[in-house]
Structure 1
Amino acid sequence: MSTQADILNDAVADIGQQYYWEPSPNTLYAWATGDIANPAAQLGTTSELAINCYTWPLLLAVNRGYLTKANVKSIIGKTIDNKADKTPYAFTTSSVTQLWTDWKSFPGSWWRPRAGDLVFFEGLIGGLLGHVAISTGNIVHDESEVISFGHGLTVPQLTAVARTTIERIRTGYLSIRFLTPSWP
């Protein structure tokens, strides 16, 4: 099995699981830098250890052993330091990875995200990290299915991982982009 398939399987298994959500990546970054001593498996389980939509896939990869603290620190650091249009590239180490955009304007499903791809929703707040979800690769009633955590939230709270579609989330976002992460 590929790492993307493993992460997707873990995301599917997480559907209905509740975690504490907050709008920043601070908790996972603090864990990666050693400022939080709790094991990674405890992240998201209390309001003090809250996670967000873009740290949730990283946490899945950490729990699988695909990412180390150093990897997480690098990824989050790159997303903070990069210009908004380069942010998703922090999730991949491949020089040939394409960041597809405006996927819906292409006919058929050729340009839809594949299973395990990370889907980035560009918003006025958060740029390309306005929201991040994991594609299942499934087409349901001509909509691209994703597993999402924390979509639409603005204040810290307990919320569940959910199965939805890009089309249901898309409203209010400027663009949708996706790529296949290459977990180090």
Structure 2
Amino acid sequence: MLHSYYNINAIEAGLDEVGRGCLAGPVVAAAVILPKDYTHPILNDSKQLTRFQREQLRAELQREALAWAVAEVSAEEIDRINILKASFLAMHRALDTIMHQPDGPKPDHLLVDGNRFVPYPMIPHTCIVKGDTKFLSIAAASVLAKTYRDELMEKLSLEFPHYGWAQNVGYPTSLHRRAIQEHGPCRWHRRSFRLV
């Protein structure tokens, strides 16, 4: 069972990103503030859920969360600043959205999936390795980020069907690498990555 909070006295936002290891598309992050008493029998790391479960959870989380936001950093930006910095930037952008919402709570503590983070101004954070399997708010962020990104890559695959993004969502599958060899990269590919 995942934990509902790290510090009961804090307004906590869980942060997670998806798409770091992809060859194409943006890296996407989400920030989520859940009610302190929120529980869910299946909410977990998005990679451990079926697509159907993720979609069901997405609708519920968007309805039940006290605040949430999803943000992306483009392939072009990734190439310019590197994928690690881009991942942190995506998290900061998601937080920026929450901080600028006129209504709703503002976090005073951040729970970040992973072992590193660039501090967000004026808000302390705690990095938690495999946090998306330990805390509900981080798991919620992983679900919202993944469902958003998967949907985006499916839309992009309509224009570039030969890369198989509807199935691989930009990850380096053999089909994806073969398609890059045959057709070359497109504008959504990360040129700083080893594409083939």
TM over 0.5: no
Higher relative contact order (CA 8 A, sep 6+): 2
Higher strand share: 1
Larger radius of gyration: 2
TM bin, normalised by shorter chain, reads under 0.3
- The TM-score, its normalising length taken from structure 2, stands at 0.25
Structure with higher helix content: 2
TM-score (norm 1): 0.26
